[in-house]
Amino acid sequence: MSPALRIAVAGKGGAGKTTLSATLSRLVARQGRSVLVIDGDSNPNVAVALGISRTAAAAIDPLPMGLVSRRLDGAALNDPVATVVDRFGARGPDGVAVVHMAMPAHADEGCLCSSHATVSAILADAEHQGDSVTLVDFEASPEHFSRGTTRHVDALLLVAEPYYRSLETARRMGELAAELPIKQVVVVANKLRSPDDLAAMEEFFANHNMVVAGRVPWSDAVLDADKAGTPLIDYDPDGPVVAAVAALLERLTRPDSAAA
């Protein structure tokens, strides 16, 4: 039995986090592992990207307040992770389960402190779910760093595109992540159109002591799949993007990955 693996995906808006999260999750599930995806965006889209119908995705209730109790070592779930998933989640293709972080129901409701506490508690308890992978697709805001929501993940994937604002966002998030006890903080270079794009990104991140662990090429199939309402892994299963995500997964799960 493989140990539990907890992954967070972050980066600038539009960098490709949701497509990466959905594709990575389904590839993991095909290895026979239990997979839970937490949609940590207040505008959730992961369920549809996984292949759950729009109608079914719209029917997923966000995780309610009150699932968490405070303990000396931090927030923890009142019920086992599996119970929470069964009550509030949905299952998509390849058996991937998905839950939604609580989001504001009305304007002027205040902060999402309790929502972040719930996600943090799920991640903390997921450490004890052997042979499982828990993945969080975070929104573009750095709030999940300031609130420490990501402190319980084993790997943080910072998705970046080959232009300055996206690179800077990943760099800043990397600096915040360095203050948390995360074993692996790596960059996924996404939407690469040329070798020059990759070379420029690797040079930028090397100058900031950050590792580029994933190299995902540009592909029109990503846009075409989205237009068709079909997950990329179903629309273009043998394409270069799915292959690149599979290579990233192999790197994340190999025994020496912490030193990569």
pLDDT in tens, 206-251: 999 999 999 999 999 999 999 999 999 999 999 999 999 999 999 9
Residue-range domain boundaries for the chain: 5-254
Q: What is the pLDDT of residues 156-167, one digit of tens each?
A: 999 999 999 999
Q: In angstroms, what CA-CA distances link 37 with 229, 230, 258?
A: 19, 18, 22
What distance in Å separates the CA atoms of residue 59 and residue 53, rounded to the nearest whole number? 10
Q: What percent of the chain has pLDDT over 70?
A: 90
Q: Among 108, 92, 89, which Cα is nearest to 30's?
A: 92
Q: In angstroms, how far is CA 242 from the centroid of its own chain?
A: 16
Please report the sign of the dihedral spanned by the C-alpha atoms of residue 105, residue 229, residue 191, residue 185. positive
Inter-residue contact 208 to 173 (CB < 8 Å): no
5-254: CATH, from 3.40.50.150, 3.40.430.10, 3.40.50.300, 3.40.50.261: 3.40.50.300
Longest dimension (CA), the chain: 51
**Encoding tokens for residue 57?**
């995705």
For the chain, how far is it from start to end, CA to CA, in angstroms? Answer: 23
Q: What is the pLDDT of residues 74-118, one digit of tens each?
A: 667 888 899 999 999 999 999 999 999 856 554 545 455 567 778
Span 187-211, average pLDDT: 98
Q: What is the pLDDT of residues 54-65, one digit of tens each?
A: 999 999 988 887
3-state secondary structure of 114: helix
Q: Among 38, 6, 41, 45, which Cα is nearest to 231's?
A: 45
**Encoding tokens for residue 226?**
């989205």
Q: What is the pLDDT of residues 108-135, one digit of tens each?
A: 454 555 677 788 888 888 888 888 999 9
Inter-residue contact 60 to 99 (CB < 8 Å): yes
Span 6-17, average pLDDT: 95
**DSSP conformation class of 195:** H
